[in-house]
Amino acid sequence: MSWTVFFVAIFSSMLINNVVLMKFLGVCPFLGVSKKTGSALGMSAAVMFVMVIAAFVSYLLYYLVLVPLEIEFVQTISFILIIASLVQLVEMIIKKISKKLYKSLGVYIALITTNCAILGIAVENITRDFAGQYGLFPGLAVAVTTAFGAALGFGLVMFAFSTIRERLEGANVPEAWKGVPVSLITAGIMALAFAGLGGIVG
Amino acid sequence: MAKTKNMKKEMSRLANLTKGFFKENPVFVFLLGLCPALAVTGTVEASLGMGLLVIFVLTGSNVVVSLIRKWIPHQIRVPSYIVIISTFVTIVGLLTEAYAYALHGELGIFIPLIVVNCLILGRAESYASKNKVHDAAIDGFGMGLGFLGALVVIGFFREFLSTGAIAYGVFLPLAETPGSIINIDSYVFSMDAFGQAPGGFLVIGLLLGIFNFVAILKRNKKERERQRMIEEKKRQALERKRQKAQEKAGAKA
């Protein structure tokens, strides 16, 4: 296994299979917290934090606990519980470590439990069978890298979208299309642009 | 007396069932569950499958949450709801894998992701945890039907725009059939992008805009009607005043 695997993992999960625009994961925060650039960046940072840790923990949980016990079917329940408790834990740790960081991220962290991108990436890391392809621990590294790339892609799209929305505030939009409809159409056009990146990396 | 009361109850139950169809439609009004509404609505078939799964999970979780609502401590209610919901999602996942494998393959990752569908958690929190079992079941079923309806509408438009087919890959008999008046091959005008990721956003955005437009037209009409009523009443009052004054004048004379 060479380093290109990691590069491809980051590149493809960030740009080509973008979580929001290509896989439709995490659309709720994408539409909900993108009115201001500051809150969009805060949400992205919180998502990155939780997504990487969740990918790490869920991968280990699956291969070290569920597979040996042959209870793979409780995957969904155990993953969502892990993510929910992880969110609580991260919230507590951030609160202890840095009051300033907690003030800027705290609101968003509570919202993350219902962010489907976190669970989606955790489940997808299992279905893509990194452990079978690369071995248990190298697979773990690839899974975490994929999660990191996905979080970067989420942040990129959130940032771009929030800046567009700030400009849209002042634009002369027909009354019926104001607010969510025009944002969805904007997102659609952004998705068209991202669709052009498909096929760069096999 | 008892009969009217009963009827009232029936009516409210019917309203409870149908409120999710238009007035409180989860997708178009509350924007809940947008992830599956965007992701699996490429075809009518997949939308229908997803909607059916959500109806099952929503009704089941509403019933169970309502059954044990008095024993769930307030502080840990959300984790308990999540456990209940994910149990039903696991059941659904295993059932589709066993009996509808094609659907399981098509929906893929979005079957486990029903757990984080905000619609289901929202109904558990805002309705099932406060109401009786049968009401919660009706509410879950109705809301699920509303969700299914919204998905099928989106799926219909996306499949038509991307392939030219109406549903299940069936084309309108317009093209190159002997005897048809219009010869339009709807396949020629199809746009691939609508079946893929960008089309989901575009179609939902356009549909939401059209619904808003209709709502605004309706509101304007109502407003005009109200204005006219006010004018009418003013006119009537003025007329009466004048009549009274005339009568007074007549009596004096």
Q: Are B196 and A195 an interchain contact pair (Cβ–Cβ within 8 Å)?
A: yes
Nearest-Cα residue of chain A relative to residue B203:
A185
Task: Give the pLDDT band of residue B186 (cuts 50, 70, 90).
Answer: low
Name the domain count of chain B: 2
Say yes or no: B150 and B222 in one domain. no
Structural domain span for residue B204: 196-252
Q: What is the DSSP letter of A185?
A: H
Say yes or no: B50 and B144 in one domain. yes
Structural domain span for residue A42: 37-170
User: Is residue A2 domain-resident?
Assistant: no
Predicted confidence (pLDDT) per residue in B8-62, tens digit: 666 677 887 788 787 788 888 888 888 888 888 888 888 999 999 999 999 999 9
- Three-state secondary-structure class, residue B167: strand
| Amino acid B91: pLDDT | 93
Q: Residue B2: pLDDT above 60?
A: no
Q: Are A119 and B205 an interchain contact pair (Cβ–Cβ within 8 Å)?
A: no
> Taking the complete model, does pTM exceed 0.90, yes or no?
no
Tokens 């659907």 map to which residue? Answer: B103
User: Is residue A75 domain-resident?
Assistant: yes
Highest-pLDDT range among A94-103, A148-157, B153-162: A148-157
Nearest-Cα residue of chain B relative to residue A72:
B90
Long-range CB contact pairs, A112-115, < 8 A, 24+: A112/A46, A112/A47, A112/A50, A112/A87, A113/A83, A113/A84, A113/A87, A113/B78, A113/B82, A113/B116, A114/A28, A114/B116, A114/B118, A114/B121, A115/A26, A115/A28, A115/A29, A115/A47, A115/B116
Q: Are B86 and A23 an interchain contact pair (Cβ–Cβ within 8 Å)?
A: no
Name the domain count of chain A: 1
Mean pLDDT (chain B) is 84
Say which residue, A116 or B93, is predicted with more confidence: B93
Within 10 A of A86 (CB to CB), how many other CB atoms are there? Answer: 20
User: Is residue B177 domain-resident?
Assistant: no
- Please measure the distance between the N-terminal and C-terminal CA atoms of chain A and give it in whole angstroms: 17
Best CA proximity match to A9, nearest among A110, A176, A139: A139
User: Is residue B100 domain-resident?
Assistant: yes
User: Is residue A142 domain-resident?
Assistant: yes
- Three-state secondary-structure class, residue B145: helix
| Amino acid A29: pLDDT | 82
User: Is residue B208 domain-resident?
Assistant: yes
ipTM above 0.85, yes or no: no
Say yes or no: B237 and B144 in one domain. no
Q: At A102, list the tokens.
A: 């907690």
| Amino acid B177: pLDDT | 58
Say yes or no: B202 and B158 in one domain. no
